[in-house]
Structure 1
Amino acid sequence: MKKIILATAISAVVSPVVYAADPVTIVITASRTEQALSQSITPTTVITHQQLQQTQPKSVAQALEQSAGVQVLNSGGYGQNSTLYLRGLDQKRMLVLVDGVQIGSATLGYASLEHFPVEQIERIEIVRGARSSLYGANAIAGVIQIITKKKHLQSNYAVIEAGVGSRNTQQLSLSGGFGNENTRLTAAVSRFSTEGFDVYSAGGEDKDGYLNQALNLTAEHQYSSGLILFGGYQRAQGHNDYDQCSKPDWSKSNDCESLFVNDGLQLGLAQRANQKLGWEIKASQHNDSSQQKVEGIKADKFVTQTRMLNLQGEYQLSEQQLLLAGIDYKKDEVSGSGVDNYQEKTRDNKALFALWQWQQKGLSAAISGRADRNQAFGTFNTYGVELGVELLADLELTLGRATAFTAPTFNDLYYPALGNPDLKPETSSTNSLGLNYQPSSSVYLTANLYQTEVEDLVAWAPISPGSFTWTPQNVDNVSIKGVELTGQWLFGNTQLDAHLEWLEPKDKATGNILIYRAQKSSGLRISQQLDQLTLGISAAYTGSRYTDKANTDRLDAYTLVHFDAQYAVSRALVTKLSVKNLTDKSYVSKKGYETESRSLFASVSYTF
């Protein structure tokens, strides 16, 4: 069965959304190579450029919150720490890529997605389920990949967009694409700022503002031989105010500021040698820098530099079979005043990986494997097996099993007096079962069941019974069972998207539910196009959650409703309006922190 995902049709960058079935959406994250979404047997969600334009998120968390399998924990407004949970596991157990380059902090163990500029995103791919057999460490829950904007119009263009909103929120961006048949260049700059609001409910009355300034450059040139030279550079820097930081005497202050700089550079060559053989080599570097200011005085600085070299090739064995294999080299280095006393400041990882895909009418399969050799913890092997069987003309059954692991962070291993250099990687195994049903080109339904077992989870624990000294240790084991239901319907110019999730994330020792995981969540979105006007309304339900391991403190469930509108005055001029938290719902996402009340944002864009 050919799975057809309902999506917005490819249109001019500033035109209103036109809804249509799109059977050939290309994704790359699930298999590390281009593949039609209709041919993938891996649960994958694509948030397209058109969807981002219509829903108008102001953060990556807002862009992801309507996606199946994703839950968001907010610690305030824009720029504040946002924790993502994918299939019940947090950001330390998921991999985040930007244009194929891994990003994040090696000391914290996750990427600060709250600082990535949404204005520069072309699309987001979310792969649900273990992917260490292709990507290595930290892909237990899945992989989130951000694809930045590239030149996609035939002619040269430039787009300027400006907007204002509640709490003196301001946004300004300028992007453009230039080139000819052989060369393409893209450039984008953006600035986002807001006065914010007081994010800590028990603190003094102060506004916790945010500033983000970003740059994105990409280039690609194709030679007559078919060889493609490509490169890119991204940078985001700014600061956000927050509350409850620690002073040197360990007392708390609400005069806190976080300074951040994230930048990445990549350069590569790719070639399709013939119809069967293709290869790519890429070198990249990503830097993650953070520093706190407490009452105007700068504290320690933490910098992660990640260098990677990737070489992969693919060979079409036959019309039904594809073989992909490659080598990954990664080196993490931490620096800055905050890591002066760390026992180790560098580690490298070498890996070999391979994927075999086979597909014929009514049957498809994928087998992947990877061997990682890490300087800190030795060799680790993972695998993944997937099978798709067409039961009926409109119904497909999918089966999968995969192993994965998460590497301990530099803080876990080497933090002065508290780190534990004897930590082992966390390990997991995931079994999955799915059904994909498509009775017509305008209706698509899926059901996915999965069970993930994670062992040797790193958690703080006393070094011995009764000891007052605590360190990170491999002491926790968790079991996560889940059911995901998703549906998409297209009726004329009306599109409806919905998802439901039931989750049972348990600590195996106590049987208690893991903190801040809602066992029930759902989302619904209805979009309607009326000539030049497109309207959308979204609702997201988050069930009750526990804030403590003993499951004695529970936060209430809540539903948030958002509204958006887009009107094309002409093909060049487009106006937009979004209202987040339309009903002005008072709710708590994280205990002790305020959440944003109703907020409006209006913008206008013009294409030259």
Structure 2
Amino acid sequence: MEISRIGYFKEHYIVDKSANVQIILTKKIIGMTPVSVAGKLSQFDGELAKGKFTGMDSYSRHSSLQRIPGSLIKSYGGMAGITNVSMDGGQPIHTKIVLNGIDLTNPQNGQTDLSDIPNELMQQLYLGRSPNLYFGSGSFDGVVHIRPMINRSFLKLGAGSFGYQSGSAGYNWTLPRTKVHVQYGKNMSTGDYPITQGDSTITRRNNNFSQNFFLGQLHFQTNHQQLLKGLVFSSNQDRGVAGNLSWPSPKAHRENKINLIGLQYVYLTRRGHVRLHSYQRFSDEHYQDPDLGTNSYHQVNVSGVTINGQQNFNDYLELNGIIDLKRESIESTDMGNQIRTTMASGIQAAVRFISWLQIQPGYRIDMLGDFQGKTYDLTSSMNSSIPGKLILSFGTGFHAPTFNDLYWPADSYSEGNPDLKIERNQYQIIRWENNFRSKTNFSIEYRKRHSHNLITWSADENYIWKPQNIDESERKNMIMSVSIPTRFAGLSISGHVTHTKAIDMNTRKTLQYVPESSANILIDYARENFALEFQGQYTGKRTYQGYNKIWEPVNLTLNRFFDVNIGLHCIFPLGAQQLTVHFIIQNVLDQNTAFFPGYPEPGRRIKLGIELGF
């Protein structure tokens, strides 16, 4: 008997009995001519820029966010303090944070508290500079996308200064056409750290922080055209609220949780795709301060459906379209029950007239309850291998009032304003970039933004704080970025320098807390089983309004500082697994890195971690 099969050597057997015979064929390598697969990138230009991830980022969200050119991290002190990020000298309400396509913005205050998102999830960061087509209100300064990795199995433990402890584990199942990833972790800190106040050193108390979280991700490909993606995320925080140095709150306490659920269906066509995304964001916050008799809760729910598609008609024309339906609601001891619905649609085209010139116009309209917002943008790019790439962009954006702005109840100190208007914004961007034949990536960018009807909480003639459309501002940024790839025996260098001029057009004064200059540098040296990282963040002088001894308003200045972090990572192979030991020093120079003067940050900190990857 002759047994033959393609890919195996032939075998001959003489069957002399009727019993079962087991036949094993030996594999044979079949030579073939090369198979080339060619594809084309989307014509849409400059939508997302990926940020580099380092070993230090697992222990500090500041380090990864600081590497985004133009970013400002606004923290209220330590792990327990609220943490926001803004871009180009703007406010946090003008920058969105998105986790796997789900907007994390809290419609109560228009912000995202990054202390609710564990560092373990911030493994891939992408920045969108002109994302108004997809996100509408509150996105005209940019969108930071967080995309947790799905193909990691690990066990991680860490400890450090001021009672810091962390532990997390993740496991990944890979099946035919299916990937499943689950992750659970816990982070905690006693948080009490020494600070300098006047001529004495005191301990800042009531900074305890405890967080536990769960993440589940699913990728299921039914066939070569259909893909199903799911996300479940939940985090619970229990923290002390230390308050301002001038008005401390030694007994204040806050518990909050945030839950996310998302399901995406993607259908691929020959020249594009259609995506259906259903999502829900739920948060629950409980705040207590027995000294003031405060006992409040806020439950916020956002649910929506987004349909977007992309179609490439030929080499010269491509279209994007989006329809977004969303419902926002709040149940609050302060504002009662409030509901707002949003309906939005937008379209964007990419037109390539010749190989090196492309025009990209876009338009979107939003109906947010009683408000209407219209945005447009136009981007042109000219690309050539020798002079590099030149991008010109201009457009508009807007921000709708939040639930707090509209419905905060009237009391002896504050009051909402139901008559507020939408904030408006216009921007112009010029960017030149060149990779100098892959030797050095260099870019220089000029951004100009003019905003009016800005919503600002200020005291009226009766000393009642309420929001008003009174501010108008102009921001100008010059940003230079450089990245030298790994070419010198494992050494790579990257960084950026930002110069900002941000003016309040009413007072002709610099916007508060905005540094005129800032810079970041990352030096990364890696060998086979060893990595050393050095990151420095320079923040220039910032002005703000304070009060003198007789409570007269005066202009004050915060000193410049240089925040240095160092990370050392050693890898030890363990058969098919590997063990990584992390040693990290944060704020090496032990400088005052507080963003707000009344909310000091901890000084020098040391963290040690081990991670088993398998």
**Matching of residue 322 in structure 1 with residue 308 in structure 2:** no
Are 1:240 and 2:226 an aligned pair? no
Amino acid paired to 1:46:
K
Q: Does the CA-based 8 Å contact 1:278-1:315 persist in structure 2?
A: yes
Note the C-alpha offset of 1:295.
Answer: 4.3
Q: Which residue does 1:47 correspond to in 2? A: 51
Give the residue type in structure 1 aligned to 2:59. K
1:205/1:475 Cα in 2 relative to 1: closer, same or farther (>3 Å)? closer
Write the distance in 2 (CA, Å) between the matches of 1:225 and 1:503.
Answer: 48
Work out whether 1:380 is the aligned partner of 2:373: yes
Picking from 459, 471, 478, the partner of 1:476 is 471
CA distance in 1, matches of 2:144, 2:591: 29
Equivalent residue number for residue 557 of structure 2: 554
Residues 1:517 and 2:514 are matched in the alignment: yes
8 Å contact from structure 1 (residues 199, 243) kept in 2 = no
The corresponding residue for 1:361 is 355
Shift of 1:588: 3.6
**1:605 maps onto 2:605 in alignment:** no
Offset of residue 419 of structure 1: 1.3
Q: Distance in 1 between matches of 2:134 and 2:206?
A: 44
Which residue in 2 is equivalent to 1:259? 255
Determine if the alignment matches structure 1 residue 415 to structure 2 residue 415. Answer: no
Structure 1 residues 270 and 290 mapped into 2: Cα distance closer, same or farther (>3 Å)? same
Residues 1:123 and 1:392: Cα distance change in structure 2 (over 3 Å): closer
- Whether 2:168 is the aligned partner of 1:141: answer no
Distance (Å, rounded) in 1 between the aligned partners of 2:469 and 2:248:
31
C-alpha distance in 2 between matches for 1:279 and 1:338: 42
1: CA distance, partners of 2:171 / 2:474: 47
1:225–1:124: structure 2 CA closer, same or farther, 3 Å change rule?
closer
Where does residue 585 of structure 1 map in the other structure? 591
Distance 1:95 1:539 in 2: 25
- Residue 498 of structure 1 deviates from its aligned partner by 1.3
**What are the ranges of 5 or more consecutive residues in structure 1 without an aligned counterpart?**
1-25, 27-33, 152-156
CA distance in 1, matches of 2:206, 2:358: 55
Match of 1:374, as an amino acid?
L
Q: Tell me: CA distance 1:469–1:536, structure 2 relative to 1, closer, same or farther (3 Å).
A: closer
Q: Which residue among 289, 298, 311 is the counterpart of 1:294?
A: 289
Aligned 8 A contact 1:302 1:334 in 2: yes
Letter in 1 for 2:137: A
Give, in whole Å, the separation in 2 of the partners of 1:581 and 1:119. 20
Residue 429 of structure 1, CA deviation: 0.3
Q: Which amino acid aligns with 2:309?
A: G
**CA positional deviation for 1:401:** 0.3
Instruction: Answer with 394-403 or 581-590: which moved more.
Output: 581-590
Secondary structure in structure 2 of the residue aligned to 1:114: helix
Letter in 1 for 2:163: N
Superposition deviation, residue 548 in structure 1: 1.4
Task: Give the aligned partner of residue 164 of structure 2.
Answer: 169
More divergent stretch after superposition (442-451 vs 359-368): 359-368
TM-score normalized with structure 2 length = 0.85
Offset of residue 462 of structure 1: 5.8
Inter-CA distance 109–267: structure 2 relative to 1 (3 Å threshold): same
Q: 1:134 to 1:368 in 2, by over 3 A?
A: farther
Determine if contact 1:200/1:592 at 8 Å carries over to the other structure. no
Distance 1:368 1:310 in 2: 18
The 5 A counterparts of 1:47-126 are 47-48=51-52, 51-52=53-54, 54-126=55-127
Letter in 2 for 1:398: I
User: Are the counterparts in 1 of residues 47 and 131 from structure 2 also a CA contact under 8 Å?
Assistant: no
Contact 2:456 2:470 (C-alpha < 8 Å) held by counterparts: yes
In structure 1, the residue matched to 2:452 is: 455
1:509 counterpart SS class: coil
Residues 468/258 of structure 1: CA separation in 2 closer, same or farther (3 Å cut): closer
Answer yes or no: is 1:304 the counterpart of 2:311. Answer: no
Is the 1:524–1:540 contact (alpha carbons within 8 Å) kept by the matching residues of 2?
yes
Q: 2:266 aligns with which of 263, 267, 270?
A: 270
CA contact (8 A) 1:160 1:606 kept: yes
TM-score, normalised to structure 1, is 0.86
Shift of 1:198: 4.5
Aligned to 2:25: none
What is the CA-CA distance between 1:268 and the residue it aligns to? 2.5
- Call closer, same or farther: CA 1:210–1:385 in 2, change over 3 Å: same
Residue equivalent to 2:173: 178
Q: How much has 1:133 moved relative to structure 2?
A: 3.2
| 1:514–1:173 distance in 2 versus 1, CA, 3 Å | same
Matched letter for residue 133 of structure 2: S
What is the CA distance between 1:40 and its match in structure 2?
6.4
Change (3 A) 1:587 1:215: closer
Task: Give 1:280's match in structure 2, choosing from 272, 275, 278.
Answer: 275
Aligned length: 555
Structure scoring higher RCO (CA < 8 A, sep ≥ 6) equals: 1
Partners of 2:368 and 2:522 in 1: CA distance: 44
Measured on the aligned residues, the alpha-carbon RMSD in Å equals 2.5
Assess, with a 3 A threshold, how the Cα gap between structure 1 residues 528 and 592 changes in structure 2: closer, same or farther.
same
Q: 2:15 corresponds to which residue?
A: none
The 2-side partners of 1:334 and 1:299 are apart by 17
Please list, as runs of the form range in 1=range in 2, the aligned pairs for 1:394-409 lying within 5 A after superposition.
394-409=387-402
The question of whether the paired residues in 1 share the 8 Å contact of 2:79 and 2:209 is answered with yes
CA contact (8 A) 2:195 2:602 kept: no
CA contact (8 A) 1:198 1:594 kept: no
Tell me the CA shift for residue 337 of structure 1: 2.5
Structure 1 residue matching 2:134: 3-state secondary structure? helix
Q: Secondary structure at the match of 1:56?
A: helix
Q: Which runs of 5+ in 2 are unaligned?
A: 1-38, 547-552
Cα deviation code 1:527-550 (max 9, x no counterpart) = 111331111111110001012187
The 3-state SS of whatever aligns with 2:406 is: helix
Deviation per residue, 1:280-327 (Å, 9 max, x gap): 111110012222122498711012101110011111111343211120
Residue type at the aligned position of 1:186: H
Alpha carbons of structure 1 residues 212 and 159: separation in structure 2 relative to 1, 3 Å: same
| Aligned 8 A contact 1:253 1:295 in 2 | no
Kept in 2, the 8 Å contact 1:190–1:215? The answer is yes
Q: Is the 8 A contact 2:206 2:242 kept in 1?
A: no
Q: Distance in 1 between matches of 2:212 and 2:220?
A: 28
CA distance, structure 1, for counterparts of residue 464 and residue 166 of structure 2: 48
